[in-house]
A = this chain, B = another copy of it.
């Protein structure tokens, strides 16, 4: 039943660029979006505060990711016309709603990663023979 979604799009000839899974995963798959969403899940945050809290992200990437998330309606961008300007980012209801399925994936990753790491080491040892 998991595959049905994809096959339905396949059969419909809608093109895979329009497939919901493809679109969602393209966003989640990039390097920073999830980090940003997770930070904003704790509390709304200003640009520079986010920049400090998300480790090693460049201003450029923070800007681009925030724009994409805002475009998708996952993040709300609020500008306060102070001087100098301050901008606060927060999760929309849509943004918060993804925390649920995301939580399941995070839990899976946590539980299974030791196993995965072990598999990789074993695989790489065989490869070295």
Using CB atoms and an 8 Å cutoff, list the residues of chain A in contact with chain B: 1-3, 5-6, 10, 16, 20-21, 23-26, 28-30, 34-35, 38-39, 41-42, 55-56, 70-74, 94, 97-110, 112-113, 115-120, 123-124
- Given the contacts A105-B105, A108-B101, A119-B71, A113 and B2 also touching, CB distance less than 8 Å: no
* A-side interface mostly: helix
How far is A42 from B10 in the complex, measured between Cα atoms in Å?
Answer: 16
- Given the contacts A71-B120, A94-B115, A94-B116, A3 and B108 also touching, CB distance less than 8 Å: no
A73 CB contacts on chain B under 8 angstroms: 115-116, 118-120, 123
Q: How far is the CB of A29 from the nearest CB of chain B, in Å?
A: 2
Q: Which of B72, B117, B118 is in CB contact (< 8 Å) with A120?
A: B72
A34 CB contacts on chain B under 8 angstroms: 21, 25
Flag if B99 contacts A112 (CB, 8 Å): no
How far is A74 from B118 in the complex, measured between Cα atoms in Å?
Answer: 12
